[in-house]
Amino acid sequence: MINNPRARLCVPVCVRRAGELAPAVERAAQLSDVIELRLDCLADDAQLETAMRELRAHLLARPRPVILTLRPAGQGGFRDLDQPKRLLFWCNNFYKGNDLADFADIELEQAEGVEQVGKYIRGVEWERVICSHHDFVGVPDDLEAIYERMSRTPARILKIAVQADEITDCLPVINLLERARREGRDLIAVAMGEAGLLTRVLAHAFGSFLTYGSLDAASATAPGQVTAAQLRDLYRVHSITEQTMITGLVGSPVSHSVSPHIHNAAFAALGVDAVYIPFETRDARAFSRRMAHPRTREMSWNLRGFSVTAPHKGAIMGGLDFTEASAREIGAVNTVVCAGDELHGYNTDAAAALAPLRDLIDLAHARVAVIGAGGAARALLRSLRDANAGTTVFARDAERAREVAEKFDAEVRTLGGASFESFDAVVNATPLGTSGGRESETAATAEQLRGVRVAYDLVYNPSETRFLREARAAGCERVVGGLPMLVAQAAAQFELWTGVPAPLEVMRRAAEKKLAGE
């Protein structure tokens, strides 16, 4: 990748006591290009005054350019100071031409107030002022008008941050960055919340003056703010340009997915100028139409394709120009490729799900029980049918199970009270056992699994699910989790997007490292 000379990563420092500033600044300097001192985080006026004394006496080091911020509560501050008090603070600590900081982040109303009383203030250096506006409710209808109002202040840099509840809420933010670039304005624009992550990762490609990353997971100063270490090391924001190939994961939820670690590690290992980002969305069709499809997208970006996960593997198909035959039969697409002015859909789950079983048993005429009737189960059942295995679907929803079983020449049985002793292999294709609220659940107990040779769980997080523990307690000869499938389907996606063989070992190690919490 080509290093982007304009890329600036800003780390906010938010502490309660003035004595904590110095060590926090030292830590931030290891991660950042710019440091923001969030003075509104300090517990009270006494702590604020102590911090300013240390700045004036040069006791607080400034290893990077520094932004001073004293945000009011209504604009996301951590304690409230009325406007006259803040105006006095800025008069004493910034407007008089001192060098306590390189920049001051001043809210729009405050900047307008300063301009009105400017004749009483000497030394206001508007080149060092960031005029900001925050909306923590959503994207205001008058966003363009707010931008124009900010543009009328003498501030050199403008900052707008709005709450994104849906990924398409990023569009007005991105379009505003395009406008600022055309007009030659320095603008920081952020869509806050998990749905706005792409505006943080792709900030420099879109022309944003800087992007923000927290010091650590507990120190975020805005919704959806990921850590600076993630932005730097996982997403490699300093290397992203307008030419960088964009890929990502469409689903809900996606914030804790392992896929960004797998794909970004692969891109880095092969020197591919690409990045993989979680695309949090409840409406995959709207994302496809407004942001992805080359003929209808409302933004300019180098999107190459994306993965699709629950609950959108079926819904995404309605917006595609081409879907491979196996994906049509399964009724699910997990991979989309931007091909010219079309979107093409594929299913890499089917072959990937079968690979671990092939290594453990002879599938021809093997008896395999598949628990579940969703997209993962359908993908596996199709591959098992083609491998001449005898399959039986077990599910709580008998009607759904019957429909799936008939489609893939399988038998069907009720899950409640089922015994699997007559099967060579049992596969959990349900979300039961997934990290989070369902981690303590299992699709089958040890008593049900006695006599089974192979137990296979498509769940990959956690690595050791309750289903696998029950299988071991039942004496199953072999147990395998979902990590091999995860890596195999990701490798196939990588090859569809790049046209080059995927670095399997790199991808596997990245997944294991993430799952181990490293």
Distance in angstroms (rounded) separating the CA atoms of residues 118 and 95: 10
**Residue 219 DSSP code:** G
- Given the residues 85, 96, 313, 514, select the one marked as catalytic: 313
Query: DSSP characters for 15-65?
Result: -SSGGGHHHHHHHHHTT-SEEEEEGGGSSSHHHHHHHHHHHHTT-S--SS-
Q: Helix, strand or coil for residue 370?
A: strand
Q: Kindly tell me the sign of the dihedral angle through the C-alpha atoms of 455, 456, 459, 460.
A: positive
Known catalytic residue at 85: no
Q: Which residue bears the tokens 């996301």? A: 76
Please, are residues 321 and 342 in contact by the beta-carbon 8 Å criterion?
Answer: yes
The encoded tokens of residue 158 equal: 């403008």
Distance in angstroms (rounded) separating the CA atoms of residues 381 and 373: 9
Query: DSSP characters for 292-317?
Result: I-TTT-SS---EEEEEE-TT-TTGGG
Distance in angstroms (rounded) separating the CA atoms of residues 442 and 434: 9
Query: DSSP characters for 246-287?
Result: EEEEEESS-TT-SHHHHHHHHHHHHT-SEEEEEEE-S-HHHH
**Residue 243 DSSP code:** T
Please, are residues 351 and 340 in contact by the beta-carbon 8 Å criterion?
Answer: no
The encoded tokens of residue 100 equal: 């306590």
Based on the number of CB atoms within 10 Å of its own CB, is 99 exposed (0-12), middle (13-18) or buried (19 or more)?
exposed
Which residue type, as a one-letter code, is found at position 509? R
Please, are residues 326 and 380 in contact by the beta-carbon 8 Å criterion?
Answer: no
Q: Which residue bears the tokens 């289903």? A: 467
Catalytic residues: 313
